[in-house]
């Protein structure tokens, strides 16, 4: 059976993140990067420049004076926010429907990924007091391996979805049986090649693994909480089907239930903000 590396190599022949997105991610991870470095990379993509300036001058930021320079725009937005913006823009085309299959929908997967990303950032900020930019990124890309499988082994993926729909099994276990690998392993390789932060890469790899207790908070534990909550809101990979929450996260959720209820009430407003910032929950 093919390995995760086989899927990634075949996929990369056709698609990868644009050069600009990978370079920006590399700069974010570098302590030596300067604002001039970001400006030089962003200038290579006129569409990104227009999007960036339109965003920073939008009512969301409420600036009194119009910003016309790339460097100033990056200062106001922040480099991690910029990285997420570029990544979302780059991934959008990956989720375009290639056909009409009622069992697996790229559009539904995009809604799922966007919801998980927004919930992850909300949990990080509201429950744990962290900025949440890295966990947002992990949420957006955590299921990208399913797009690769749909591109290269669509019939097998439909079989996976059909078996998953019957309940009782984790989707990655079914993928291993039918495909010889799973979307978490494929996504981990892609995230690594795209020079994303190591914690994000590991969260993509482990987000379906529930046999280990991860630190609370960590990107992995927050991602698992967000995916569970998205499933309960019917924003899962397949409508109405999602993996169970690990016991240690059930205990955490129960102990903080009042805060999480407040968080969920605020979700529609945060989804609207995300639409303004990223277009992250728009249809394809």
CA pair distance 165, 160, nearest whole angstrom: 9
User: What own/partner pairs with CB < 8 Å and gap ≥ 24 does 162-165 have?
Assistant: 162/103, 164/237, 164/238, 164/241, 165/103, 165/238, 165/241
pLDDT tens sequence across 158-202: 999 999 988 888 899 999 999 999 999 999 999 998 888 999 999
Among the residue ranges 36-50, 53-67, 270-284, the one predicted with the least confidence is 270-284
The reported pLDDT for the residue numbered 56 is 86
pTM of the model: 0.86
Other CB atoms within 10 Å distance of the CB of residue 82: 21
CA pair distance 3, 20, nearest whole angstrom: 28
Other CB atoms within 10 Å distance of the CB of residue 143: 23
CA pair distance 203, 142, nearest whole angstrom: 8
The reported pLDDT for the residue numbered 174 is 95
CA pair distance 215, 237, nearest whole angstrom: 25
Contacts of 10 (CB under 8 A, 6+ apart): 152
CA pair distance 203, 231, nearest whole angstrom: 18
Residue 2 has pLDDT above 60, yes or no: yes
Place of tokens 């119009």: 66
Phi, psi of 255 (to 5 degrees): -70, -20
Structural domains in the chain, CATH included, are: 4-13+94-277 (1.10.3210.10)
The reported pLDDT for the residue numbered 284 is 46
């Amino acid at each position: 059976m093919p390995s995760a590396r086989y899927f990634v190599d075949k996929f990369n022949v056709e698609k990868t993140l644009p050069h600009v997105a990978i370079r920006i991610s590399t700069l974010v991870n570098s302590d030596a990067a300067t604002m001039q470095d970001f400006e030089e990379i962003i200038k290579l993509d006129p569409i990104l420049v227009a999007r960036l300036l339109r965003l920073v001058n939008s009512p969301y930021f409420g600036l009194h004076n119009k910003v016309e320079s790339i460097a100033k725009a990056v200062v106001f937005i922040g480099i991690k926010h910029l990285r997420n913006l570029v990544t979302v823009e780059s991934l959008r085309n990956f989720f375009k429907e290639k056909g009409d299959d009622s069992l697996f929908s790229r559009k539904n997967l995009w809604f799922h990924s966007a919801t998980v990303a927004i919930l992850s950032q909300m949990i990080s900020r509201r429950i744990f007091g962290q900025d949440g930019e890295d966990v947002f990124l992990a949420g957006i890309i955590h299921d990208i391996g399913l797009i690769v499988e749909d591109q290269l082994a669509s019939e097998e993926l439909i079989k996976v979805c059909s078996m998953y729909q019957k309940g009782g099994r984790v989707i990655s276990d079914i993928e291993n049986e039918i495909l010889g690998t799973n979307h978490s392993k494929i996504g981990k390789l892609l995230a690594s090649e795209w020079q994303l932060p190591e914690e994000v890469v590991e969260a993509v790899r482990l987000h379906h693994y529930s046999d280990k207790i991860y630190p609370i908070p960590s990107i992995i534990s927050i991602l698992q909480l967000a995916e569970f909550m998205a499933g309960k809101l019917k924003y899962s990979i397949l409508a109405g089907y999602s993996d169970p929450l690990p016991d240690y996260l059930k205990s955490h959720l129960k102990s903080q239930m009042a805060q999480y209820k407040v968080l969920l009430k605020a979700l529609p407003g945060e989804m609207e903000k995300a639409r303004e910032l990223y277009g992250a929950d728009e249809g394809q």
